[in-house]
Amino acid sequence: MGTRFAPSYANLFMGMWEQNNILPKLNKNMGLITWKRYIDDCLFIWKGSEKELTTFLEGLNNNSLNIRLTSNYSSVSVNFLDLNIFVESGKFETSLYRKPTDCNGYILRTSCHHKKWLKNIPYSQFNRIKRNCSKNIDYEKESTILTEQFKEKGYEDTVIKHAKTLCDKKSRNEMLQNKNKKEKKRITPDNNSIQFITTYNNSNKELETIIQRHWHILLKDKDLQEHLSANPRIIYKKPRTIKQILVPSCLPPTKQKQLSDPFNTGISNGFFACRTCKGCKTSKVNERNVTNFKSNTTNVEFAIKDIITCNSNNVIYLLQCP
């Protein structure tokens, strides 16, 4: 959904809309008997005529918040997220849903990632399929498709078969149970110890060997031994992808003498208000030169990294709540 905050923003916005327009109507002598939402994807059960349903949907789109819902309804089956929900023998069944634009987007086996992380990908995907498919015949069908997709990406047969075997042994009912994410893990000397965190690359195996070989030296240190586990805990961060290197989301800083200060005037970075344009007159800029700004939430100050005037192009304006 774009930037990192976009899902949270959409969730809050839709939550407000839902609180005012949906929840008051739930089970209030209307056809709406169940309503579920994931961010901006909604699923509900309607008990009424099709005409009443279309009237209800038209009413939802008649708002001043610029919210326009697209709908797809059926008395037989409906798609929601990665689920196909259908009715069979008087009860709901589910299977995996793939969008028409779906492609084999799984990561290559030769990608620059830790081997254990790569081996866990087939296992996690078989788990997802088993959770989504309520009928075993659908699970086996989707597993065959998934197996071929992983083979195309270079995964070994042994890795794929082992992942499926582990998944086959698990109970689907247990997999569907809600897990209490708020439950804190019991703090032990091992999981509360100092961790060695570094960016992963293919030569890290040698680094692991060196750390493990000399770990006993650190354990003998009186100041460190109480903060270290018996064995080193090495955690790898995701390295930059080729896309992030070739197509960065943030442009590299420009050389100030060439662009910001072409005539070498010695002017420092900041925003220089002209005090005559409409923008300057309506803003709360009291100073002629503003070099930084502060967050109203965290009180963290950020420096302006270029020389900006009212006529500067490609500038993101700062908007603050009064």
- Looking at residue 258, its pLDDT comes to 42
pLDDT confidence of 288, banded at 50, 70, 90?
Answer: confident
Report whether 77 contacts 85 (CB < 8 A). Answer: yes
Give the separation between CA 111 and CA 88, rounded to whole angstroms: 42
- Looking at residue 266, its pLDDT comes to 60
Q: Does the structure show a pLDDT above 80 at 1?
A: no
Distances (CA, A) of 235 to 119, 190, 272: 17, 14, 46
Give the separation between CA 76 and CA 296, rounded to whole angstroms: 51
Distances (CA, A) of 4 to 9, 236, 249, 252: 9, 22, 13, 20
Section 165-179 average pLDDT = 90
pLDDT tens digit sequence for 190-249: 566 788 888 988 888 888 899 999 999 988 988 888 888 888 888 888 888 888 888 876
Section 297-305 average pLDDT = 86
Section 49-65 average pLDDT = 88
Return the minimum-mean-pLDDT range out of 50-59, 119-128, 199-208, 271-280: 271-280
Q: φ, ψ for residue 23 (rounded to 5)?
A: -60, -35
pLDDT confidence of 148, banded at 50, 70, 90?
Answer: very high
Q: Which of 102-111, 253-262, 274-283: highest mean pLDDT?
A: 102-111
Nearest CA-CA partner of 232 in 177, 193, 276, 282: 193
- Looking at residue 183, its pLDDT comes to 55
Q: Does the structure show a pLDDT above 80 at 285?
A: no
pLDDT confidence of 294, banded at 50, 70, 90?
Answer: confident
Return the minimum-mean-pLDDT range out of 29-43, 109-123, 242-256: 242-256
Classify the C-alpha dihedral 121-127-133-135 as positive or negative: positive
Alpha helices in the chain (DSSP H): 6-21, 50-61, 115-132, 136-152, 157-168, 172-175, 204-213, 215-219, 242-246, 278-282
Which has the higher per-residue pLDDT, 52 or 187? 52
Give the separation between CA 280 and CA 40, rounded to whole angstroms: 38
Q: Could you tell me the pTM of the whole model?
A: 0.68
Return the minimum-mean-pLDDT range out of 11-15, 99-103, 142-146, 177-181: 177-181
* Distant-in-sequence, close-in-space partners of 206: CB < 8 Å, separation ≥ 6: none
